[in-house]
């Protein structure tokens, strides 16, 4: 069979299913057939999978060595989520069967049975579906090189999800090794649309390769509609509006076949699930709840029922953002601002999953400002302005881990290995110093240490780095794949049924006997023992909703830019779209009492409140950057004149409150908001070392300092138990120039404080004209910041009352 014959066969097959072959799929087939690598980007549900899965099958069908029996490993298929592996496997297998290709397709993850793993050690399937961790683990076996000798291609699914994470970096490193074994290996990525696809592709293919970027961006239709509440308070505050819209959401669910209801955080999922059942008690059993903390088995069950269409709606978080094909879903409801354009696109893509079908998205604001966000997101989507995701820069914890993996596999030699590592995009600028330090860390136990003769991790013999110790070998294999796992408490019913996990910090705040919502149930805590919280169903009706760690992601900078554009539009007198029209009165009032923020001038409001003097600043740079900026400005202010300042912040701006009044003029604000000396002053005013210590936990785990014991034999590792925090203290005390410590500081600045965005915002502000207003009352934009600032002082109930009263008072004045 010739290659175009094979392509014809596939085309026929697609037609039989009622689909047609799209141009981008043909482009990918051709590019693959000519030996190229590349990246296919398209919204979900457009047939990306077939674009890259068919070509290797076609090649085999037309090749010399085809036969009736399954060949050895031809394709590695990497997917970010363990939960997606089985579905992916089945859909890959389906095409093999229809094309009558006798390939075996198997999965390999942490969940794979020991028997299957053992069989795979002897012979790998023709296509192996796996995760980055499991691939890394395979590389640690010396015989893997031999088993992978026929490998033709690696496909990385949902590459955008991995790209800017350590697991993405781990994938880059693994690919660098596979390419070293086989320079003609083809790498193909599948990605949602990103703002920096060229970089995404370079990261995937490494620094030595060029590739083909294939745009599968068919005009998938998005119908985005926002639920606009009939009456809109002009003084919006978080979490208040949403509750009023429950009935509206319930009606939307009734009007569709199957809905996915997305919220931004897990606690909101619990809230909405319970709220929906309250207005529609008959939905008991017909709607489901799905988030990352819920037991995998119940999640699985929900997913299965989604697939068969037996369920009316599922309330979920990003746990359902990815992958799996839920054909019956015909409506997506987004609760709360999407915070990012790519995220809204991704979620929109979860419905109308047949290629060509349209996506129906209903947006539900939880506070009035989010109306602007939705309007901005739609504009940005039309302009194809999508967020970028940047690969990480040379994380040394992961490098240390990977080098041990290589040493365990076939071993490595320094110069060759360095070249190989630098061929991975994230490490292309790895310095000689960083490399040398990492090698010392592995061989001697650290740079500043005299060589301990007892220290043994990687040994060097005649220039070859290997692992000698069985103990190191076992520990290492145990610890690969623990990049993301935080101490979690298992929630278990007294009957023994486990419901999922919650963060320890949440449970530690509960007393035995208190109620909380979890997995859609109201539970009573009995006791906590051995990392398990024993619970039973509660009789009373009141409970707390867990607030999980992790938390809210900030407004993306692309969306923030578009929000600012919307504000500029408004200031030029045009209100485009239903959302903006609904905001009309609020915006008019803002303009009347003060000025519109986010426009050409930089708005600072000063208002007297019962708490003292309040300043409100609106940089529109996202909550993380605002948190840092607020601390920075407060710090600089108090250096001018000693005073106690409280701060609060949201995605649009921040608020400083002081009991001493002070006149701050334009030139003084300019210096308070100057980007000069940013990092040093941040270090001085944020509790950076405490933050770095928390960040170090992950680094310690990845770099192999901390072990969680062997599963099944928890006792044998016990004499090696120490927490990441303890290592942080010990290193800080005895080895302060340890590069892992420095990495933890950098990660805090980059990831938790978004220092780059702060710098950009401050640079932008420097160029702006300042508008200093002194409104007599809180303005609509200042109000939510004020509400946030008194939240910390009061219990939830009295807080709600207090804010409601203030809002009514302001409405009267308006």
Partner 1 sequence: MSLNNGGLELGWGGETLLICPEKAVFWKKRKALFVADTHFGKAATFRKSGIPVPETSSRDDCLLLEQLVSRTKAETLVFLGDFLHAREGRTEEVRLDLIAWRERLPKLELHLVRGNHDLRSGDPWPELGIKCHPEPWREYEFELRHHPVERSSKPYLAGHVHPGFALRERGGTSLRAPCFQVGEERIILPAFGDFTGLRKVVPGEGDRIFMTDGREVLEVPARGWKSTTPNWKRKV
Task: By CB under 8 A, name the binding residues for partner 1.
Answer: 441, 444-446, 448-449, 452, 454-458, 469, 471-472, 475, 508, 631, 634-635, 637-638, 644-648, 685, 687, 690, 704-705, 707, 719-720, 722-723, 725-727, 730-731, 733-735, 789, 792-793
**Residue 790 CB, nearest approach to partner 1 (Å):** 9
Q: Based on CB atoms, which residue is closest to partner 1, 408 or 424?
A: 408
Question: Closest separation between CB of residue 478 and partner 1, Å?
Answer: 12
Joined tokens for residue 511? 């007393």
Smaller CB separation from partner 1, 464 or 684: 684
The rounded distance, in Å, linking the Cα atoms of 233 and 783 is: 11
Rank residues 286 and 643 by Cβ distance to partner 1 and give the closer one.
643
Reported residue count of the chain is 814
Specify the DSSP element, H or E, that contains 744.
Answer: helix 739-747
CB of 443 to partner 1, least distance (A): 10
CB of 647 to partner 1, least distance (A): 6
Question: Would you say 288 or 481 has its CB closer to partner 1?
Answer: 481
Provide the Cα torsion 288, 315, 698, 622; round to 10°.
Answer: -170
Taking the least distance from each CB to partner 1, the nearer of 118 and 792 is 792
Cβ-count burial 548-568 (b if 16+ within 10 Å, e if not): beeeebbbbbbbbbbbbbbbe
Q: Identify which of residues 316 and 700 has a Cβ nearer to partner 1 in the complex.
A: 700
Measured CA to CA, the distance from residue 614 to residue 610 in angstroms comes to 10
d(C-alpha 546, C-alpha 507), whole Å: 9
Q: What is the largest CA-CA distance in the chain?
A: 85
Burial of 488 from C-beta contacts in 10 A (0-12 / 13-18 / 19+): middle
H-state helical runs in 509-654: 557-571, 578-582, 584-593, 623-640
How far is residue 223's CA from residue 62's CA, in Å, rounded to a whole number? 43
Alpha-carbon distance 45 to 293, whole Å? 26
Least distance between partner 1 and beta carbon 644 (Å): 6
| DSSP state, residue 56 | H
Q: Which parts of 576-723 are beta strand (E)?
A: 601-609, 612-617, 645-649, 654-658
Q: In angstroms, rounded to a whole number, what is the distance separating the alpha carbons of residues 91 and 85?
A: 10
C-beta closer to partner 1: residue 428 or 456? 456
Report in angstroms how near the CB of residue 616 gets to partner 1 at its nearest: 15
Minimum CB distance to partner 1 smaller for 363 or for 404: 404
Please identify, using beta-carbon distances, which residue of 261 and 631 lies nearer to partner 1. Answer: 631
Closest CA to 180 of 6, 511, 406: 406
CA distances from 447 to 405, 443, 444, 463 (A): 21, 10, 7, 19
Q: How far is the CB of 105 from partner 1 (least distance, A)?
A: 37
What's the min distance (Å) between Cβ of 548 and partner 1?
A: 14
Measured from the CB atom, the residue of 54 and 654 that comes closer to partner 1 is 654
Helix (H, G, I), strand (E, B) or coil at 658: strand
β-pair partners for 40 = 190, 214
Least Cβ distance, residue 435 to partner 1 (angstroms): 17
Cβ at position 789, least distance to partner 1 in Å: 6
Nearer to partner 1, 54 or 548 (CB): 548
Minimum distance from CB of 396 to partner 1 (Å)? 13
């Amino acid at each position: 069979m010739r290659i175009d014959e094979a392509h014809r066969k596939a085309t026929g097959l697609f037609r039989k299913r009622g689909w047609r072959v799209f141009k981008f799929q043909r482009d990918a087939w051709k590019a693959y057939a000519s030996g190229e690598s590349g990246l296919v980007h398209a919204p979900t549900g457009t047939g990306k999978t077939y674009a890259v899965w068919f070509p290797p099958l076609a090649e085999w069908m037309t090749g010399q060595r085809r036969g009736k029996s399954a060949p050895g490993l031809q394709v590695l298929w990497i997917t970010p989520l363990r939960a997606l592996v089985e579905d992916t496997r089945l859909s890959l297998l389906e095409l093999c069967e229809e094309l009558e290709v006798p390939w075996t397709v198997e999965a390999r993850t942490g969940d794979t049975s020991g028997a299957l793993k053992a069989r795979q050690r002897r012979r790998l399937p023709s296509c192996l579906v796996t995760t980055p961790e499991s691939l890394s683990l395979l590389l640690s076996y010396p015989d893997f090189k031999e088993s992978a000798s026929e490998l033709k291609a690696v496909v990385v699914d949902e590459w955008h999800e991995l790209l800017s994470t350590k697991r993405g970096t781990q994938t880059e490193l693994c690919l660098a090794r596979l390419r070293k074994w086989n320079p003609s290996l083809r790498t193909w990525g599948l990605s949602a649309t990103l703002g920096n696809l060229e970089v995404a592709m370079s990261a995937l293919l490494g620094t030595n390769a060029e590739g083909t970027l294939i745009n599968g961006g068919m005009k998938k239709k998005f119908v985005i509609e926002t639920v606009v509440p009939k009456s809109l308070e002009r003084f919006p505050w978080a979490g208040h509006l949403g509750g009023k819209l429950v009935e509206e959401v319930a009606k939307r669910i009734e009007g569709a076949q199957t809905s996915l209801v997305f919220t931004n955080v897990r606690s909101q999922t619990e809230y909405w699930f319970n709220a929906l059942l309250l207005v529609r008690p008959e939905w008991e059993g017909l709607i489901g709840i799905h988030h990352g903390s819920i037991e995998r088995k119940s999640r699985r069950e929900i997913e299965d029922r989604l697939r068969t269409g037996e369920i009316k709606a599922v309330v979920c978080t990003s746990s359902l953002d990815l992958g799996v094909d839920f054909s019956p879903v015909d409506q997506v409801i987004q609760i709360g601002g999407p915070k990012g354009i790519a995220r809204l696109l991704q979620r929109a893509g979860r419905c109308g999953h047949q290629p060509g079908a349209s996506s129906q998205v209903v947006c539900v604001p939880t506070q009035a400002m989010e109306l602007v966000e939705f309007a901005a997101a739609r504009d940005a989507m039309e302009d194809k302005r999508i967020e970028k995701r940047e690969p990480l820069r040379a994380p040394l914890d992961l490098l240390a881990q990977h080098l041990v993996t290589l040493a365990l596999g076939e071993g490595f030699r320094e110069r060759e290995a360095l070249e190989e590592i630098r061929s991975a995009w994230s490490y292309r600028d790895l310095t000689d110093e960083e490399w040398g330090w990492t090698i010392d860390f592995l061989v001697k136990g650290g740079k500043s240490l005299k060589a301990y003769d007892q220290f043994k991790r990687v040994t060097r013999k005649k220039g070859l780095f290997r692992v000698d110790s069985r103990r190191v070998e076992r520990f290492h294999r145990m610890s690969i794949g623990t990049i993301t796992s935080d101490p979690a408490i298992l929630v278990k019913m007294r009957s023994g049924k486990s419901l999922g996990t919650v963060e320890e910090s949440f449970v530690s705040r509960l007393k035995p006997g208190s109620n909380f919502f979890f997995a859609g149930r109201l539970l009573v805590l009995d006791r906590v023992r051995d990392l398990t919280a024993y619970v039973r169903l509660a009789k009373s009706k009141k409970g707390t909703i867990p607030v999980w760690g992790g938390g809210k992601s900030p407004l993306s900078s692309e969306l923030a830019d578009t929000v600012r554009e919307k504000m500029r539009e408004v200031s030029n007198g045009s209100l485009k779209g239903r959302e903006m029209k609904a905001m009309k009165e609020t915006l008019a009032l803002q303009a009347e009492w003060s000025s519109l923020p986010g426009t050409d001038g930089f708005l600072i409001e000063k208002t007297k409140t019962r708490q003292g003097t309040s300043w409100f600043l609106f940089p529109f740079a996202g909550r993380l950057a605002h948190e840092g900026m607020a601390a920075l400005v407060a710090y600089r202010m108090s250096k001018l004149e000693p005073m106690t300042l409280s701060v609060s912040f949201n995605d649009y701006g921040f608020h400083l409150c002081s009991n001493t009044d002070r006149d701050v003029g334009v030139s003084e604000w300019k210096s308070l908001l100057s980007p000069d000396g940013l990092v040093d002053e941040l270090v001085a005013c944020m509790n950076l070392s405490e933050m770095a210590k928390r960040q170090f936990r992950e680094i310690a785990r990845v770099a192999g300092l901390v072990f969680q014991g062997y599963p099944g034999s928890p006792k044998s590792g016990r004499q090696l138990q120490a927490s990441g925090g303890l290592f942080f203290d010990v290193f800080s005390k005895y080895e302060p120039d340890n590069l892992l410590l420095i990495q933890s500081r950098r990660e805090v600045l980059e990831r938790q404080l978004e220092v780059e965005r702060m710098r950009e915002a401050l640079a932008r502000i420097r160029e702006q004209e300042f508008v200093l207003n002194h409104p007599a009352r809180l303005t609509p934009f200042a109000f939510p910041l004020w509400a946030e600032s008194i939240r910390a002082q009061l219990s939830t109930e009295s807080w709600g009352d207090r804010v409601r009263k203030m809002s009514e008072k302001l409405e009267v004045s308006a």
